[in-house]
Structure formats: structure tokens, C-alpha cells
Structure 1
Amino acid sequence: MIANSICWLRTAVFYFFWVLFGVPWCTFVILAVYFVPVRSRHPFFIKNFCVVSLFLCRWICGIRWKVEGLENVPDKACVVASNHQSPWETFFVQMLISPQSTVIKKELFSVPFFGWAFKRLNPIAIDRKERRSAMQQVMDKGKVCLDDDYGVVIFPEGTRHHWPEVGRFTRGAATLAQHANVPVLPIAHDAGRFWPTFTLKKTPGEITVRIGPVIDSQNKPIDQLTSEVRDWVVANHP
């Protein structure tokens, strides 16, 4: 009971400082974004925001992490496909590859300050109710990003799942990778163990992140490539 109360207290302190930092930072992004060169916007605005966010999470909530397979991150642009359990990995992947564009749900743009700022940084925002147009937008906008040597991050499950579940993977990551002739970088993690989805409470512990060797996307049926990526994530899930 006491331990649970301490976790909630630490969580409340985390969000207090995160909002205290985040709202002014997002306001700064909204006002300053057009004065920063396009290629520098992600590392300056988003990556730095995520570094501070995970620093706060680590030192206030006690959530640490270790990364295995950093040597597998390629020098060239690729499609990053990660399982999705919590907001934690959305911050982490922004630090891992920069510059990049992330496929997100369009509803996030309505979040005050954070969504307004993110909208100005040109993510690939899709309406999940319109599957056909959403896929076309991922293909068109994603290929432009990859051709410009930007990474593209996709969470193929489409929504967050409870740890240790790995949901069904959609075909978007594999289709985009093949369309743009780039490999897929698979990532497996257990962030949901300590920052679970659908709750604010955070529990101290160490997240394990495993980064796999890139998976070649060419000359494979889309379903086969999708299965290869998911199979690696399932087999290496902490």
C-alpha cells in the first residue's frame, strides 16, 4: 500500500515538472519553428524534448533503461517498426533516430500545446477510420521522407497493448519499406511493464530495449515481410 502510494506520488511529481517544462517548450516551438532549418527541426525541437522527458522519468519515477543492439541502427534512412505498449517508447525512438518522421493518429493534433506544436513539425498524421486514404498517405509522405534520408517510425500494432502482449501487425511498415526500397529496423521492448498503457502510474524498474538487425524488404511478399518483422519482435520481446 505504501509502495503504491509512493509510485503515485512520484508520478504526480513527474507530470508536474513535465508540464512545467513542456508547455513553455511547445509554445516556443509554435513561435520559432519557421526560423529553424527544416532538417534541424526534429533534433532541436523533438529530440531535445524527449531527452528531457525521459530524464525526468528516470530521476523522478525511477524508470531506467538498457539498450541492446545499438550497432544495428543503420546510417541510412529506414523504416523503424516497434511494438507499442506505452508513451515511453514514443519518446525513446525520437532519440534513437534523428531526423525522422513518425506515423501518428490525427487526433493527437487536438491535444493542447503538445499536439499544436507537433503539428508544425510535419509528422505523418493519419485518420485510422479511413484506412485506404491513411495507407496512401503513409506511402506518399513516407517515401518523400525516406528519399530525403529521414527515418520513418511506425508502430505496426496501430494501438498500445498491455505488456507482455504483442498484437497483430498491420502491413503499413512493410509496404512502405518495400515501396521506398529501404530496410525495416525491428525494435522490441517491455516499457509497458513499468509505464503501463491506459494508466498514469509509473513503477520503478529497468526497461529492456532490443534493436534487431535490419530486415531486407525487397523481393518479398508484403505479408511475409510483415510476419518476419513481427516474428523477430515476438522472439526478442523481453
Structure 2
Amino acid sequence: MNLIRSILHMLWMVLTVIPWATAVLIAAPFISGARLYWMCVGWLDVAVKGGHWILGIRNRVTGFENLPLGQKDPAVLLVKHQSTWETFCMPPLMPHPLAYVFKRELLSVPFFGWAMARLDMIHIDRGRRIESFAKVVQQGRRLLGQGVWVIMFPEGTRIPRGEKGKYRSSGTRLAIECGAPVIPIAVTSAKCWPRKAFVKRPGIVDISIGPAIPSVGRKPDELMREVEAWIEAEMLRLDSEAYPTGQARLSQIKPGAD
């Protein structure tokens, strides 16, 4: 049954993204960036609702009160990355437009990537790290000043359930450069949508939004260790069965150490 559901959801996404992306490409020269963004978010919402109806995946979100309230208040969202699910559901969930930092190769994906190329996002060349980070800071500062939140996955890639990747400090470096707080977010999406798996399972995905952590006066590595400690402790709390040796592993993460 899960295989049939997964096939149907894939067909749902393909059949909806083609006309939606085509409409975005046609509309792009004529509408503002914000309107175009929310037009694209409309398709992401359709994909997520398809996940609800077809796959039986439900989101359970906590911590909305931790998000900045002002229309122009900046934030850098640092999110646990386990599957494609969180990349789809974050924009419809958040009250501010989001700008993803992603590798430019995604822009060549038919329809989906073509539509993304029309949005004001931060796409980078991973082979040119120094130039790429300078671009992230330049564009990030501009976007944050406009009330757009920057979202990054500090582990860099999707991590299997129950595992922890290497947390890289580019997100906290950006936050420090721009004076923006960081918002750590834990996501248990691999319970339903495992990494690189075609067959998905019904269930509840917990999305826990942590308290904002000020970046002013901090060092990137030290701040990232605090983000890492919060996210991984929250993952252990939300999905304890996936972390049989979690307590010993978490004891090795020392937030605040320099």
C-alpha cells in the first residue's frame, strides 16, 4: 500500500509542478518578486497537502512563539535535514518569505529548477567556496534587510534517521556578519520520508522551532556548537527510538566551548 501511495504522490507532484512552473515562467516578467515567491509557495503547499492526503504524513509544529514578530526582523533558520519533506514544508509554514542557500545545479532540474531560477534565492558554486561565501553574505545581508529570512541546512546534506552529520559554521558566520539571530529547528521527517527512499510511510513529522539565539559578539564555531547541541538534543527527545546511544553521543557536544 505504501508503494502505491508513493507512486501516486510522485504523479501528483509531476502533474501539478508542470503547469504551475509554466505559469511562474510566464508571469515572472510581469509580477513583483514577493508575489512570485508566494505563487511558488502555492505549489509547495499543494505538494505538502498531497503528502497529507495521499501519503498520510502529518506535521506537528511547536515553537512558533520563538519566531521574530516584526515585519522586518531578520532571522537565519538552521534546520535539521533528513529528507525532501522539510524543503517543501518550510516555506508554507513560515510567516516570512524564505531564501534558501543551495547549489546552483538544482536550477537545471526541469520545471522545478526553472521556476526556482526566477526567485531571489542564494545559489552557490560549491567548487568556489571563498567566492561563494562572499556571495552568501552579500545577498544574505540584502535579503535580511528586506524582511526575508535565510534558511540553511548546517549539515549540508540529508542525514539518515538516528545519525548526525558534520555541522558547518557557514550559517552562523552569515548570522554574525549580518547581526541576525539564528533559529535552530529540529525535524523528524525521516520517520516517514527516509533519505533517498522512494517508498514513504504515513505518520507524524515533528517540527520543533527553538528559541532565537543572538549572534552579536559570538564566534561562528562556538555559536554553531550551541545550535548543534540544541538540535541534536531535541532530535533525541522527539525520536528517541532512533538514537539508542544518543545520550553518550550528546555528552560529547559542548555548547559554549571555545
State the TM-score, normalized to the length of structure 1: 0.94
Mapping for residues 87-166 of structure 1, pairs under 5 Å = 87-97=84-94, 98-166=96-164
RMSD: 1.1
Would you say 1:181 and 2:179 are equivalent positions? yes
1:70-118 Cα deviation digits (max 9, x unpaired): 1111122200000111010001211233312111111101100110110
2:22 to 15, 27, 38: 27
More moved, 227-236 vs 121-130: 121-130
List alignment gaps of at least 5 residues for structure 2: 239-258
AA paired with 2:57?
A: I
In the TM superposition, residue 139 of structure 1 has moved relative to its aligned partner by 0.9
- Conserved? CA contact 1:171–1:222, under 8 Å: yes
- Conserved? CA contact 1:42–1:99, under 8 Å: yes
Partner of 2:53: 59
CA distance in 2, matches of 1:178, 1:52: 35
Partner of 2:66: 72
1:111-147 Cα deviation digits (max 9, x unpaired): 0011011011121001122221221111111111011
- Conserved? CA contact 2:61–2:206, under 8 Å: yes
CA distance in 2, matches of 1:86, 1:41: 25
AA paired with 2:9?
A: F
Partner of 1:3: none
List alignment gaps of at least 5 residues for structure 1: 1-5
- Conserved? CA contact 2:44–2:92, under 8 Å: yes
- Conserved? CA contact 1:46–1:94, under 8 Å: no
CA distance in 2, matches of 1:40, 1:164: 38
CA distance in 2, matches of 1:46, 1:233: 28
- Conserved? CA contact 2:137–2:174, under 8 Å: yes
In the TM superposition, residue 149 of structure 1 has moved relative to its aligned partner by 1.2
CA distance in 2, matches of 1:127, 1:85: 22
CA distance in 2, matches of 1:183, 1:160: 24
- Conserved? CA contact 1:147–1:180, under 8 Å: no
Identity of aligned residues (%): 36
Q: Work out the number of aligned pairs and report it.
A: 232
CA distance in 1, matches of 2:124, 2:87: 16
AA paired with 2:216?
A: Q
